[in-house]
Amino acid sequence: MEINLIVEAVKFMVIGLTTVFLFLWLLIIVLKIESRVVQRLFPPRMAVKATPKTEKKKEVNEEITAAIVAAVTQHRNRKR
């Protein structure tokens, strides 16, 4: 009697694993087909070429730098 229960359990396990495997396989196929359809209906746009950041050099404002240094110095002095 125990052998029949083990055989039944193995059958259910194989059926369950097969079902999950087939579902995932079908899902992958459907997603690939959907991807192809979307790419045909909505082709990707041409990317706008961005200007390199190295060309954009900003001048350092000396007043802002001095204010930052003063604020950091004041903060450090208060902690002590």
Distance CA 79, CA 38 (A): 59
pLDDT of residue 13: 97
Dihedral sign, Cα of residue 33, residue 34, residue 38, residue 44: negative
The ranges assigned to domains in the chain are: 1-44
Ordered DSSP codes for 6-38: HHHHHHHHHHHHHHHHHHHHHHHHHHHHHHHHH
Per-residue pLDDT in tens (0 to 9) along the chain, 80 residues: 678 999 999 999 999 999 999 999 999 999 999 999 999 998 888 777 766 655 555 677 888 899 999 999 999 998 76
pLDDT of residue 71: 93
